Structure 1
């Protein structure tokens, strides 16, 4: 398919992840709307977008997005969240969907939406500035729709990812592997501090 030069994107979640993605995608020439977690704002933003990015906290994402089923019909949903149970220090301690994934549950709840999982194996600054790391990071794609994954692949290029840093893992079921990688995060942070990092596959 042809490279998309500009598209309408709704970012659900106005925290550090959502704000960072919205700023970078706007800079890349896309028309971006950011919605907070209130139902009305999310529905309005989703209704007018071609692509919707879920940057809401993963623990509540399934319920929030299931309520937007009508607005998400026919759209591409880019899920960058991880559904975790946090420990006493606020860092991820366990998965909410062990043996499955948030992305799989979203696809099941939203059968008329094309869900693509990506950018969930890194700290948020790396999502929009992958070249900041001393070694090349990897961004993984999981999803059942090849065209949707190609569209998201092109968005990653707009965010500064090189095509050789992007790996298509296959169907949405593969998201359970990348979501499980979040369990590395608290140990890496405790070991080296809150410095940008990403999961990378050495070849």
Structure 2
């Protein structure tokens, strides 16, 4: 598939690397290509800056948001901070988004008052819903937003069973995302389709718990598992 990955941070890099390894063509979207290329300092966790990463991954084409989406015709992966969602999608434009499936990995984390973050939308709405409402012709599928990026793309790094959730209004789009998850190594029995996009409220609101578990465990290498009783 031709896939556009919107976001140049560690999540976007992890998804792009995995997608390339699976034989997909990846176009990575950014606000300003030259500004991104100029970034060479690793982040606080030691992840490479996009300027360094893109020079080491020459099969990925770094483009402005709109051009990346126009070339990544089969799927959009939104892998940016939730605060940037509407600014990014406005740069792409409604016409370029029309009819496409977007795997939305973002969360509405608000760090304005420091750490741990709160959520800037919750309870009665989700960021996934807001995106879907603003772009009704875009097929938004929320998934992979309840775990760290190494686990997103390689669930086998954790022993035992663990769960990934899927939310979205369009069944065909959810099937497309589910098939991608399976190619990453997710077992069908561990993929739970929660229902329409309103169910993204629940998965986005898992993040405050995830952040606190990360603080307690001092590692991002964990995930949630839904264990159902046998009938």
What is the TM-score with the length of structure 1 in the denominator?
Answer: 0.91
In our comparison, the structure showing a higher alpha carbon Rg is 2
Displacement of 1:164 in angstroms is 1.1
Match of 1:175 among 200, 205, 212: 200
Q: Would you identify which runs of 4 or more consecutive aligned residues in structure 1 move more than 3 Å?
A: 37-40
SS in 1 for 2:85: helix
Match of 2:190 among 157, 165, 172: 165
Q: CA deviation digits over 1:166-185, x for unaligned, max 9?
A: 11111000001000000112
- Unpaired runs of 5+ in structure 2? 34-62
**Whole-Å separation in 2 of the counterparts to 1:140 and 1:186:** 18
**Whole-Å separation in 2 of the counterparts to 1:83 and 1:182:** 9
Q: CA deviation digits over 1:1-53, x for unaligned, max 9?
A: xxxxxx11000001110000011011111111112234971100001222100
Displacement of 1:88 in angstroms is 2.1
In structure 1, the residue matched to 2:4 is 10
Q: Give the alignment of 1:141-152 within 5 angstroms.
A: 141-152=166-177
In structure 2, the residue matched to 1:4 is none
Whether the 8 Å contact between 1:62 and 1:102 is mirrored in structure 2 is no
In structure 2, the residue matched to 1:190 is 215
What is the aligned residue count? 195
SS in 2 for 1:196: coil
1:97 aligns with 2:121: yes
In structure 2, the residue matched to 1:3 is none
**Whole-Å separation in 2 of the counterparts to 1:95 and 1:27:** 34
SS in 2 for 1:120: coil
Q: CA deviation digits over 1:90-138, x for unaligned, max 9?
A: x4x2111122111100101111110000000111110011111123221
RMSD of aligned residue pairs (Cα, Å): 1.5
In structure 2, the residue matched to 1:43 is 66
Match of 2:25 among 22, 31, 37: 31
SS in 1 for 2:167: strand
- Unpaired runs of 5+ in structure 1? 1-6
**Whole-Å separation in 1 of the counterparts to 2:32 and 2:82:** 15
In structure 2, the residue matched to 1:19 is 13
